[in-house]
A and B are shown apart, each in its own frame.
Chain A
Amino acid sequence: MLKINSVSKRFQGVIALDHVSLDVNEGKIYGLIGPNGSGKTTLVNCITGFIKANEGSITFGQHELTNLKPHEIVKKGIVRTFQNTRVFNDLTVEENLVAVRSDLTGSLRLIELLDAFDLNSVKGVKASSLSYGQKKMLEIARALALEPAIILLDEPLAGLDVQMISKLSSQIKYINKSFNKTLLIVEHNLDELMSLADYVFVMNNGVKTAEGEPSIIRNSKIVQDVYFGR
C-alpha cells in the first residue's frame, strides 16, 4: 500500500538516498536496517513530508504523497516517531494525547491507550519528568492516537536497556496484532529485529542493497559483507 519509487535525495555533496524503491504491504512488521548514515532517517523524512525528494515518487494507496505537507500525510494515515524522542514536555501525558486528538478527551479510547502503554498511573504527570523508556512509550501512544494505517518508528529501541527492549518489542507486536497496524521499524542493528520483523530492507550508503525475511537476510552474503562489514 505504501510504494516508494526510485526516490533520491542529495544534501550538498552527500547522496543520502540513491534511487531507493520499496513496497510496504498491509498488516506486516517491516524492518529498515543499515549502518549509521546510510539514509534511513532521510527516507522516513521523505515519506512523512519533512523533506522533499529530488527525484522519484511516493504513493500511498491512491494518494500521491510526494508534494504533501507533514500534517497532510498524517491525515492520509502515515505517522512517524523520531530518532530523538519528541514529546510535548510541558504537557501532561494525557494532554500529549489529547493535543493531537481533541476527541479523545474523557473517552474510553484514551484510557485504553494509556493502559496499553502502561501510562495510566502517570497520566497527570508532565512528560518532562517521565523516564526515557516512558517517553518512548508516550511517543508511540501519541502516534497510535492518530489512528494511522502505518507507523514509522525511527530507532525506537536505541538507548534502551535489555528489559525495556523486550518490553517495547512485545508492545510493537501487540500494536501490529491488536490494533492491526502496519509498522516500519528503523534500526541499525539487525539482531534486534530478527524476532520482530516479518520482512527487512537493508540500506547502505543511500542504496537499498537487499530485502527479504530476516533469517534469509541474516545469512545472505551481500549483507554480511556490506552491512556487517566484516
Chain B
Amino acid sequence: MNLQSIKNISFIIIIGVIVLSVVVFISPFTYLDYVLMYFFAFAIFAISWDFLYSYSGQLSLGHAIPFGIGAFTVAILASKYQLNPVIGLFIAPFTASLIGGLIGMTTIRLKPAYQGIALLLFSQVLYWFTLLQFSDEGISFGYRNGLPVLGFNESYFIGILVFIVGSISILLIEHSKIRLKLLAIKQDSFAAYASGINVTFYKIFTLFVSSFFAGLGGGFLALYTFHTDYTIFLVSNDFLPIAMSIVGGTQLLGGVLLGSLLISFLDTILPAYVSLAVTYLIYGILVILVLRIFPEGIKGIIKKIRVT
C-alpha cells in the first residue's frame, strides 16, 4: 500500500463512521446511540495512543492519565465553577496535554517496556488520588434546576464533532512533513539521532499531542455521562486503547478506528450478559487470536482485500 492509499483508506473509514453515526442517530435503536457515544470517546483515545506508539515508538501503558485528566477537567469545571461542559471540553485537551506531557517527559529516556510500566504506575497514583480526593462517588454535574444543561441530541452532535476533529487532526499530523522522521525515530532512535533528527524534541512533541487528543476523548466521555470518577484511571482504561489498536492494526488510523468500533461494541454489550472479568478475558483472547492469525489486525485484512 502506498502512502496516499493508506491515507485514503483512513479517510474513507472516517467518512464511513460519520455516515454510520448519522444512520444510528435516525434509527429507532436507542441503545446503539449509547454504543456510538462510547465509541466516539474511545476511538479518539485509541488513535491518540496509536499515534504515540506507532509514530515515536513510545509505549504508554498508562494512557488513562491524559484521558482521565480530560474527563476530570470537564467535571471539575462544571461542578465547581458552573462552567458549561461544552466550554470545559475545549479546555480539557489542554490540561490533559500539559499534565500528560509533563508526566510523560519524565519517562522518555527509559526503554519502552520501562516507560510503559512507569506510566502505568503514574496512572494508578491518579487512581488512588482521585479516589481519596473525590471519594468513590466521583463528580456528577450537568443539571441546573433539575434540568440537564445539555440535551441528548446536542451531546450526540458534539460527539460526532469530537470524532471528526480528533480523527482528521491526527490523520493530518500522521501524514504531515514529519511523518518519516517520526517513523524513523520509532524504528531506530539511535540512527535517527545520528541522522540529525532531534529525537528528544519529537518524542516530547508526540507525548503532548497524543495527550491532547486523549484528553479530548476523556472530556467527551465525561460530558455525555455528566459524570466522572476514579474508575476512569482503572488499569482496564490503560489497556483498552492498546487492545483497540492491536485488533485494528497499529499505524493505520482507519484500522484502529475499526478496532475501536468493534471493542466499543463488545464493551457496551458484553457486561450485560457476562461479568467484567469474563469481558476482559474475552478481549485478552481476542487480542491473542488476532496476533496469532492476523498479526496486523484489521489492517492486515484490508491489505489482503486490496491485493486480491
Enumerate chain A interface residues (CB-CB to B < 8 A).
48, 50, 69-71, 74-75, 79-80, 82, 86-91, 95-96, 98-100, 102, 142-143, 146
Question: CA A48 – CA B196 in complex, angstroms?
Answer: 11
Partner of A142, one of B181, B183, B195, B200: B195
Shortest Cβ distance from residue A100 to the other chain B in the assembled complex, whole angstroms? 4
Q: Apart from A69-B200, A88-B188, A91-B187, list 4 A-B contacts with CB within 8 A.
A: A50-B190, A70-B194, A82-B190, A86-B191
Question: CA A88 – CA B197 in complex, angstroms?
Answer: 13
Shortest Cβ distance from residue B280 to the other chain A in the assembled complex, whole angstroms? 31
Partner of A91, one of B183, B190, B197, B200: B183
Instruction: Using CB atoms, name the residue of chain A closest to B201.
Output: A71
Shortest Cβ distance from residue A154 to the other chain B in the assembled complex, whole angstroms? 10
Chain A residues with Cβ under 8 A from B199's Cβ? Answer: 71
Please list the 10 inter-chain residue pairs (A to B) with the smallest Cβ-Cβ separation, ordered nearest first.
A74-B196, A99-B180, A86-B191, A100-B195, A99-B184, A70-B193, A88-B187, A88-B184, A71-B198, A71-B196
Partner of A82, one of B177, B180, B191: B191
Enumerate chain B interface residues (CB-CB to A < 8 A).
177, 180-181, 183-184, 187-188, 190-200
Question: CA A82 – CA B188 in complex, angstroms?
Answer: 12
Question: CA A82 – CA B191 in complex, angstroms?
Answer: 8
B195 touches A91 (CB 8 A): no
Chain B residues with Cβ under 8 A from A69's Cβ? Answer: 193, 198, 200
A99 touches B181 (CB 8 A): yes
B197 touches A102 (CB 8 A): no
Instruction: List 13 A-B pairs, Cβ < 8 Å.
Output: A50-B190, A69-B193, A69-B198, A71-B196, A79-B194, A82-B191, A86-B188, A86-B190, A87-B188, A89-B187, A90-B187, A102-B177, A102-B180
A82-B191, A86-B190, A88-B188 in contact; A146/B180 too (CB < 8 A)? no
A100 touches B183 (CB 8 A): no
Chain B residues with Cβ under 8 A from A50's Cβ? Answer: 190, 193-194
Chain B residues with Cβ under 8 A from A74's Cβ? Answer: 194-196
Question: CA A48 – CA B195 in complex, angstroms?
Answer: 11
Question: CA A80 – CA B177 in complex, angstroms?
Answer: 24
Chain A residues with Cβ under 8 A from B181's Cβ? Answer: 99-100, 102
